[in-house]
Amino acid sequence: MLFIWLIIFFSMKGTSVLGDLSCVPRQGDPGQGYVCVCNSTYCDTIERPTPLPLGHYHWYSTSNSTPGFSHTTGTFINASIDNNTDVVFKVNASAQFQEILGFGASFTDTSGILINSLPEEAQNKFIESYFGLTGIEYNLCRLPIGGTDYSPRVYTLDDVVGDEDLQYFSLTEEDLNLKIPYIKKAMSVSERGIRLMACTWMAPGWMKDNNNNYRGYVRTKHYHTWAKYHIRFLEEYQKQGISIWALSGGNEVMLTFVLPIALNSLNCTLVTAPIQRYWFKEHLSPLLAASNFSDVKLIVLDDMRLFAPYWMKHFAEDTEAYKIIDGIGLHWYFDKYIPPSVLTYLHQNFPEKLIMYTETSINGGFGPKAVDLGSWVRAEAYIYSIIETLAHWTQSYMDWNLAVNLEGGPTLGMAVEGAIIVNSTGEEFYKQPIFYAMGHFSKFMPPGARRIQVVSNQNISLEEYINPTKLSKYADLEEFGNENHLEASPTNPPIPPYVPKLLTVSIATLNPDGSYSVVVYNSKNETQHVRIEEPNLGSI
């Protein structure tokens, strides 16, 4: 059986209360598994694990045949077990690695449209499912500055031609009706708090060399105005009672270089590493330093890891520019071509900088349709990607939209899959297997947790397991810029990593409350006996 399960155990004494509401399952599309149905009167929940007596543990599981979270408790066994068929994972908390920042998704216009289409009580259950104490507790989210391909129209926050002084800069109806209300609702139910990383998709057309919203560079004469545009955004959201934790330099600023045919229609702005370095150093950073937002973090790239070494090398060449940046944002597209050792390279060469995965989605390139209700295969792609990236020093992981409709939209571009699918006509929403895949990590690996070592008795290590096929043309990542076009078409857009070898793998964290979270993922369609060992508590 394909499954993901999680064990939580404590090194302190306590008691446990089990009060979860179970999933109401519904068969998904033909040949698929199940979704969990939520509406105004009912939605499944998952309480935080409470401390147990010493030697006991919580056990949460999700599989292709058991939707939602299944939850039980158990007791460690002190006796040694000798079973050659067991996969054994030994937890070693003395070997600690990166700190976890968090997990989340994006407050897109599409998400706001769909949440707004639900009755008020269903809206509340939607927000609670993602952000509340009885939900999967997202705490790190992306916020578009202006429009995206998941907006009802193409727009920026100042489309008045030639407005160099930004006199007409203003938040739009999308901000006021589709983003801000739901950010505030999420903040009101979140105990962990919500960090927002804001990001532009496009500069106003009048600032760009092609005078439109598709592709094009910001003209050098508008660099300072473009920086002021970001400061104005921070100011306007502050007036709404919303603080921004970080700014990125723009969404997928390099992607249309390598996919010009497929993505010419996307609203975006082209940027190279030297341009972003100059703009950050000479314009955006000085304005931030002189404002009330000097603590806002700067995240570079916000694009595929294909470009990451090229990007970071250029920033590292300028000591002053390198000092002002806080980390790098990455998207999972093309990950199947570029080995995760790139992430280890980033950590080893730029150890003080954050490594964040800031966008994940499955689009039409992954299958015959954008939304596949009940798809376990798509959930597996997420599970694999999260384990892969966390095992290589990544500190956060974000999905794309909080919600899409049954067609994977509404969108101005490519339709995509979602962790939650909203059926506006039926006044209900469906939690996909992807939702629970994300939840095993976001709920139980809280901010401040640290990844710890897990040693396996298998003949293959986690590093060897996570070794996708490499695109040989870019094996050393140095040829980019000489010939930078991958084969693509509108029907073959970027796709997520494939799930590799059939194996059982594990990843674990030491949490701020002293508990351990151990996630185990079995990609084999058969039962696998698994044993977890902790030197002070025994075996599970």
pLDDT per residue as tens digits for the range 410-450: 999 889 999 999 999 999 999 999 999 999 999 999 999 99
DSSP codes joined into one string, 183-207: HHHHHHH-SS--EEEEEES---GGG
215 pLDDT exceeds 90? no
Mean pLDDT computed over 466-489: 33
Reply yes or no on whether 359 is catalytic. yes
Query: Which of the two residues, 325 and 499, has the higher pLDDT score?
Result: 325
12 pLDDT exceeds 80? no
Q: How does residue 17 score in pLDDT terms, banded at 50, 70 and 90?
A: very low
Neighbouring CB atoms inside 10 A of 453's CB total: 14
Coil, helix or strand at residue 61: strand
252 pLDDT exceeds 90? yes
Amino acid identity, residue 234? L
The pLDDT tens digits for 342-366 are: 999 999 999 999 999 999 999 865 5
Contacts of 160 by beta carbon, 8 Å cutoff, 6+ apart: 167, 168, 206
Give the architecture-level CATH label for domain 81-100+449-461+497-539: Sandwich (2.60)
Contacts of 456 by beta carbon, 8 Å cutoff, 6+ apart: 87, 88, 89, 90, 462, 505, 506
Task: Give me the percent of the chain exceeding a pLDDT of 70.
Answer: 85
CA proximity to 252, closest of 262, 244, 243? 262
pLDDT in the model for residue 481: 31
Q: What is the mean pLDDT of the chain?
A: 88
Give the domain ranges of the chain: 81-100+449-461+497-539, 102-447
pLDDT in the model for residue 497: 46
Among the listed ranges 343-347, 402-406, 463-467, 529-533, which one has the minimum average pLDDT value? 463-467
pLDDT in the model for residue 462: 57
CA triple 357-498-418, angle to 5 deg: 60
The pLDDT tens digits for 26-58 are: 999 888 889 999 999 999 999 999 888 888 999
Longest dimension (CA), the chain: 76
Dihedral-angle region of residue 115 (phi above 0 means left; psi in -120 to 50 means alpha; beta otherwise): alpha
pLDDT in the model for residue 476: 32
Mean pLDDT computed over 267-277: 92
pTM above 0.85, yes or no: yes
If you search the block for the tokens 């730029």, which residue do you land on? 350
Mean pLDDT computed over 381-403: 96
Mean pLDDT computed over 99-109: 98
The pLDDT tens digits for 291-322 are: 999 999 999 999 999 999 999 999 999 999 99
User: What is the distance between the alpha carbons of residues 183 and 125, in angstroms, rounded to a whole number?
Assistant: 14
pLDDT in the model for residue 464: 56
- Could you tell me the CATH superfamily of domain 102-447? Glycosidases (3.20.20.80)
Q: How does residue 466 score in pLDDT terms, banded at 50, 70 and 90?
A: low
5 pLDDT exceeds 80? no
| Catalytic site residue from 128, 137, 174, 359 | 359
| Catalytic site residue from 128, 174, 252, 533 | 252
Q: What is the 3-state secondary structure (H, E, C) of 304-359?
A: EHHHHHHHHHHHHCCHHHHHHCCEEEEECCCCCCCCCHHHHHHHHHCCCCEEEEEE
DSSP 8-state code for residue 231 = H
